[in-house]
Structure 1
């Protein structure tokens, strides 16, 4: 994950520069780069070494070349090399498994299953991974055909040709981790030539904050996170998490300094491991970053720290001794003196022989994480599990569309519940990892396996606004009727609001610019009329199934509700009715041919004033 290069041409050019500069053989340079896990450079050098040699290239070199392509997310190119390898009589058994992994990442599940079946080994862990992969192929074929009725939308305003992801939620924005923003003029500092990670030929990550809304102002901006604190560090910075009061942060940062401890993985240097740092804000100023005592272990990585909702348990990722696989999830508890206790492995109910990474906490008693050790669609899949510390239920695959054949990581829910984000390097994105947004009105019901009827005029407020509720009495099952006559000014405000229509693009619940401007007017009136309530009635056009259109209209309701909440409107004053394709404003019913403009008139939200 987070590893595809901006362009492989860069790596080839860079590799050529190394060759000319150091006067070493291409193969020697390739082997050194591969040992240091600099896969973009290694792959280009191996390819140069193999050029023109056809079947005379040693199969071990071809395996490293294919693996390099696979590590930086060039799955199609990797598949070509694996296909060449398995056609050779000296092919290693591992080639079948690696080829199967690549095909699964390309979502070619039938072909992947054939390759996994040919893989033989005496290694117990490898056999277990083979069995998991075969089950994954069978499950994926079903999940892809029956995805949840949720639309993942690339967040164009935040995605770059690099790698971008959301790592957490702040009171008024999002925490981001990206290597694609470094050339932007943020905080008055644009980097013309940011330092490059040779593993991927992309810049190093930095942490950012995206301000989505401010109270009464829809101004949005992106800025580097605490540059006076984090900007002093080299190499990768992030992810970063904060506590609820946003006065303590935990940052994942590479080991600093020119040299790193030798690990035996490279002929000239080791791997620059990750460490967890902490900073506390006192009197409005961040203290110096300090290594988190007891969490970091020499010679091993500790990273991706995240707090539970109570703030008393810190989960993190590590490859330290005592784990079950490549990287495991660990935790430590806050002690009476405020320090963190000794790290404890989360156990084999959650950790596997493969890699677990990127934990997030969105709900009380629930952990989200990504793993390669369970039956999944391919690459890293996102899982959700109930429990804490070492006591866990069975992790559940989030399935399609949250997961794909590629790497899917970092599912983060916003505070209001049904809106969230995740990152994926699946095909069709702008860069290596892209941020995807979703609004899912049945999210909690579905993941908790609760069946609920369609929603009609439910209140948006309350502890769980998306569970069945009994609305206030009144016409239409919604809020009650005013007991006094309206003034002339109130009648005019009511007329204005009830004449408004918010339109949507096809198959989308995202508010277009014109709709946001209209809702600014609605918020202004609602802030003046404190006793008013609104029913947001949303509709879809006639294309698609009845159930899909009902669900889509609900997502449109929530898009309006979310915008108004961020404008300061109490959710207890907001009701909604998801009407699907009912009540078209024109002739465009099922089977009636209509143009796009006619269809759009039915993709709408309307407002009704209640008291």
Structure 2
């Protein structure tokens, strides 16, 4: 099984229904046999011949698409998935909608890919991949902002075969997996993709430019006649963790279905030769454990697996490495990192940043490289590292020397020398690894539309605590920095004008600017005589504060108006008000009295707690349906709109 693409459903049981086309039964049975043991190239040849004879079914199109998809040939898979979606749209499992979207990105048909993700979201609302898409619809804009932080360097080490999974051995060399030939190396061709089996090689690094010298196979029994890949070395370079097919003590292990999965092994260096090869204790014959990444202090080992409890096709895990070399219990890295797709090839930098490849998080197509920074006991949400590392094909196995800023990654992009190639780069800028949002706007006179300079604009949290304050410039403009997924209040205030407030809840888009123009009106209480018994809401020309039927909670539209009441109470500390809440005539009179009391208390509580107003300055009570403002009394038929006019609160000046 290929180490790069092993993380597919390991129980593919898409059995073709061939009863209608009996002449193809034996041929399709052979194809199914090849497909189910991951011999995709052999299976594909038979499926093509059957398709050329005019045979078509949902299962055949799925398998033809899958035979390319799981070999990372997404430009070819798109043809068959397109036929699948077009001809069998209502019968197709949502997972194929997602795969089709990924393939469309590969051929840079991004608008169509997003349309498919919209459909995927509608069918799979609980899928985290759908949630990520909904929350990052402007992902292309963010990736453009992120792009350009790496400059690709020239590298001539690649062969015409597959070269990938670079890692630093902390001895001045880069170790990587390659299916290139060499003396004493098996020429066996693997049936997954008709490539020779992978072995581990090392190359000396020229630190000035990251150029690699002629590769040499690692010495010792670390290389076998099966696949070896994805290494991670201790700081002293004397211990290596690596991925291999399930091959221990010259015995090949298989799972219950007869498939050869992957395991992580450990070896130590003895006079230049790798010895003492042992498989790790948390391996298992029934699931794959692969792609190790050791933390800088050697105390934690990260890896990819589809072990029971995994969220997707593969998840990232971490396990403690004890001083005596034993291991703790593997822990899933959780929903910030793992999706229903593939998260794989982790790498932990010396500063503790987690780089990994994923097709579950939103990217440019295929596997993209993401970075997550340490946060508490885990990691932040992942950030796409942008172009030129990421493109529309598979980009993966990213490593970076944070001192020299030289790093390497692998890709199967066009223009390479082989099936997969290693690319070197120089980091030239810092990645965006935090959610950056802003709000800006212009303050104007609500009536004359005149631009108002020297206007104070205040940013408050939803508890009315002041966070930032600024004054508009000669063009009436202001700007604040914001945090993601946070509720704010933006208030504008100027002498001879009534203050105005706008509620601003932010989203979780990683880089986003809100445009929020503010309009204020001349007046307020400065040019008005506020007498006892006046309704403050009318003096300030506020919108009426309404309640939903049978509810006492403060609605979001009401919050905006209550913030204006709060601002006035803060500006005039001698002012006292009486909150009078009313209901419509529906329901029992006694119940309506009880409901209006709840509404009065809810309004008073908001003003006191959110505005920091002394409780003695805000009194109130409920009046039930005693003071209707229209004819909608008991027994009178009225519209919902007319009834709502009676569900209100008033703010009567008492001092």
What range is the shorter-chain TM-score in?
0.5 to 0.7
Residue 419 of structure 1 corresponds to 406
Structure 2, unpaired ranges of 5+: 6-23, 437-655
Residues 134 and 83 of structure 1: CA distance in aligned 2, closer, same or farther (over 3 Å): farther
Residue 229 of structure 1 corresponds to 221
Residue 262 of structure 2 corresponds to 274
**Superposition TM-score, scaled by structure 2 size:** 0.57
Residue 426 of structure 2 corresponds to 439
Separation of aligned partners in 1, 2:57 and 2:165 = 39
How much does 1:66 deviate?
1.4
Residue 301 of structure 2 corresponds to 314
1:406 partner SS: coil
Separation of aligned partners in 2, 1:135 and 1:122 = 17
Q: Say if 1:276 and 1:292, in contact at 8 Å, map to a contact too.
A: yes
Residue 368 of structure 2 corresponds to 381
1:175 partner SS: strand
Separation of aligned partners in 1, 2:264 and 2:80 = 38
Q: Say if 1:366 and 1:386, in contact at 8 Å, map to a contact too.
A: yes
Residue 40 of structure 1 corresponds to 41
Residues 348 and 84 of structure 1: CA distance in aligned 2, closer, same or farther (over 3 Å): closer
Residues 402 and 136 of structure 1: CA distance in aligned 2, closer, same or farther (over 3 Å): farther
Residues 155 and 190 of structure 1: CA distance in aligned 2, closer, same or farther (over 3 Å): farther
How much does 1:105 deviate?
2.0
Q: What is the aligned residue count?
A: 411
Alignment counterpart, residue 210 of structure 1, candidates 181, 189, 203: 203
How much does 1:374 deviate?
1.5
Alignment counterpart, residue 240 of structure 1, candidates 227, 231, 236: 231
Residues 448 and 210 of structure 1: CA distance in aligned 2, closer, same or farther (over 3 Å): farther
Q: Say if 2:146 and 2:384, in contact at 8 Å, map to a contact too.
A: no
2:276 partner SS: coil
Residue 287 of structure 1 corresponds to 275
Any residues of structure 2 matched to 1:387-536 within 5 Å, and which?
A: 387=374, 390-414=377-401, 416-443=403-430
How much does 1:308 deviate?
0.5
Any residues of structure 2 matched to 1:354-369 within 5 Å, and which?
A: 354-369=341-356
Residue 174 of structure 2 corresponds to 174
How much does 1:75 deviate?
2.3
How much does 1:298 deviate?
3.0
How much does 1:399 deviate?
1.6
Separation of aligned partners in 2, 1:237 and 1:393 = 31
Structure 1 window deviating more from structure 2 (249-258 vs 105-114): it is 249-258
Q: Say if 1:109 and 1:137, in contact at 8 Å, map to a contact too.
A: no
Whether 2:151 is the aligned partner of 1:151: answer yes
1:363 partner SS: coil
How much does 1:330 deviate?
1.4
Alignment counterpart, residue 352 of structure 1, candidates 333, 339, 360: 339
Residues 427 and 138 of structure 1: CA distance in aligned 2, closer, same or farther (over 3 Å): farther
Q: Say if 1:30 and 1:46, in contact at 8 Å, map to a contact too.
A: yes
Residues 214 and 429 of structure 1: CA distance in aligned 2, closer, same or farther (over 3 Å): closer
Separation of aligned partners in 2, 1:219 and 1:149 = 22
Q: Say if 2:147 and 2:385, in contact at 8 Å, map to a contact too.
A: no
Structure 1, unpaired ranges of 5+: 5-22, 265-269, 451-611
Separation of aligned partners in 2, 1:246 and 1:263 = 37
RMSD of the TM alignment (CA)?
Answer: 3.1
Q: Say if 2:129 and 2:362, in contact at 8 Å, map to a contact too.
A: no
Q: Say if 1:206 and 1:236, in contact at 8 Å, map to a contact too.
A: yes
Question: Cα deviation per residue 1:434-481 (whole Å; 9 max; x = unaligned)?
Answer: 11111123347x66899xxxxxxxxxxxxxxxxxxxxxxxxxxxxxxx
Separation of aligned partners in 2, 1:211 and 1:389 = 37
Q: Say if 1:2 and 1:163, in contact at 8 Å, map to a contact too.
A: no
Q: Say if 2:295 and 2:301, in contact at 8 Å, map to a contact too.
A: yes
Separation of aligned partners in 2, 1:100 and 1:364 = 35
Residue 261 of structure 1 corresponds to 254
How much does 1:32 deviate?
0.9
Question: Cα deviation per residue 1:307-344 (whole Å; 9 max; x = unaligned)?
Answer: 11111111111111122222111122222434222222
Separation of aligned partners in 1, 2:255 and 2:346 = 29
The answer to which structure has the higher helix fraction is: 1
Residues 74 and 347 of structure 1: CA distance in aligned 2, closer, same or farther (over 3 Å): closer
Separation of aligned partners in 2, 1:207 and 1:388 = 34
Separation of aligned partners in 1, 2:388 and 2:207 = 31
Alignment counterpart, residue 197 of structure 1, candidates 174, 190, 196: 190
Q: Say if 1:371 and 1:382, in contact at 8 Å, map to a contact too.
A: yes
Separation of aligned partners in 1, 2:172 and 2:199 = 20
Whether 2:62 is the aligned partner of 1:69: answer no
1:104 partner SS: helix
**Superposition TM-score, scaled by structure 1 size:** 0.61
Question: Cα deviation per residue 1:87-123 (whole Å; 9 max; x = unaligned)?
Answer: 3257633454332221012222012122333447755
Separation of aligned partners in 1, 2:353 and 2:231 = 20
Residue 29 of structure 1 corresponds to 30
Residues 146 and 259 of structure 1: CA distance in aligned 2, closer, same or farther (over 3 Å): closer
Residues 219 and 123 of structure 1: CA distance in aligned 2, closer, same or farther (over 3 Å): closer
1:377 partner SS: coil
The answer to which structure has the higher strand fraction is: 2
Residue 605 of structure 2 corresponds to none
